[in-house]
Amino acid sequence: MKSGFVSIVGRPNVGKSTLMNAVIGEKIAIVTDKPQTTRTRIQGIYTSDPGQIIFIDTPGIHKPKHLLGEYMVQVSTRTLFEADIIYYMTDVTRPFGGGEQFILNHFKETNVPVFLLVNKIDLVSEQEIEEYIKVFRSQMNFDEILPLSAVNGDNIPLLLEKTFAHLPEGPLYYPEDDLTDQPVSFIVSELIREKALILTRDEVPHSLAVEIEEFKNSSESKVYIRAVIYTERDSQKGIIIGKNGQMLKAIGEQSRLDIEHLLQTKAYLDLWVKVKKNWRDSETNLGQLGYRL
């Protein structure tokens, strides 16, 4: 039996969460086209005949502009020293730059296998993939280099095979049917945040946070969830609510569909919007919203 922890690191928007969701087969981590959607470590658990892999999805490593950003970078770099294998995920459509060099420098302090995962190969030619890999190979000797498409599933079975080959022998850390170690309330809050980010597009950036205030069975066939969407400014609150409440209604309707799929039961979602000024630069507010190292 092989088992161990695999940390998925890289710059924002390279497909880390998409890869983990594809392997697990369920939406464990939310996905949007906006940078820094993932804010904290999220573990996805994959169990099969060879053993168990615990994937650690991490925030994209970037130059922080507030306390929340500093927290996110610390979360990502800390996982490098907790893993048995590191997946360094890159986007083949984005050229090598200072961000990549910054991440590569962190690998010098680790002594575990590092896989270079070249994502989004469905968007470029084979020659472009080869040239891209050549640049990274000149910077470091990777234990494995694998082009893949997290969206299409290309080369994911091969990735799992190579991962098990590098993992040590060990026990099952979690029951076979567990898919994540995150509480259901956390996943529900993330699903709401995902829909708010997608529907408001660039009007309300990453100043959104969601807190579940109440989560209970209201009857044998329905769950009651009261959640608060926090913004940093009154103008952002207005955008989230929308004209005659239409935006908030849309966020609630789309969130509820995903929540009911997750819970396998009907859900009543009671959404509120409140302003918590500059919460991203407040240690107290960050702690209240669950962002603690």
pLDDT at position 218: 79
The CATH H-level superfamily of 184-288 is K homology (KH) domain (3.30.300.20)
Question: What residues contact 147, with CB distance under 8 A and at least 6 apart?
Answer: 92, 118, 121, 129, 133, 154, 155
At residue 173, φ and ψ (nearest 5 deg) are: -80, -25
Are the beta carbons of 103 and 132 closer than 8 angstroms?
no
Question: What residues contact 151, with CB distance under 8 A and at least 6 apart?
Answer: 15, 18, 22, 120, 122
- Largest interatomic CA distance in the chain: 61
**Dihedral sign, CA of 109, 112, 116, 117?**
negative
CA 28 from centre of chain: 8
pLDDT at position 18: 95
pLDDT at position 146: 98
pLDDT at position 169: 96
169 secondary structure, DSSP code: B
CA 263 from centre of chain: 20
pLDDT at position 81: 86
- CA 17 – CA 25 distance, rounded (Å): 12
**Dihedral sign, CA of 96, 37, 236, 232?**
negative
pLDDT at position 33: 81
Give 169-178 pLDDT, tens digit per residue: 999 999 999 9
State the number of CA atoms in the 13 A half-sphere of 286 facing the CB: 17
Domain with CATH 3.40.50.300 in the chain: 2-166
Are the beta carbons of 119 and 92 closer than 8 angstroms?
yes
Q: For the chain, where are the alpha helices, taking DSSP H only?
A: 16-24, 67-79, 98-107, 126-137, 156-166, 184-200, 234-241, 246-263, 283-288
Domain with CATH 3.30.300.20 in the chain: 184-288
Are the beta carbons of 116 and 88 closer than 8 angstroms?
yes
Give 133-146 pLDDT, tens digit per residue: 999 999 999 999 99
pLDDT at position 293: 64
With a cut of 70, which residues of the chain have pLDDT below it? 202-203, 205, 293
- CA 291 – CA 259 distance, rounded (Å): 22
pLDDT at position 36: 76
pLDDT at position 290: 85
pTM for this prediction: 0.91
279 secondary structure, DSSP code: G
What top-level class would CATH report for the domain 2-166?
alpha beta
Burial of 157 (0-12, 13-18, 19+ CB in 10 A): exposed
**DSSP state string for 223-258:** EEEEEEEEESSHHHHHHHH-GGGHHHHHHHHHHHHH
What does each C-alpha distance from 240 to 22, 32, 187, 229, 271 come to in angstroms? 30, 17, 20, 9, 11
180-185-187 Cα angle (round to 5)? 50
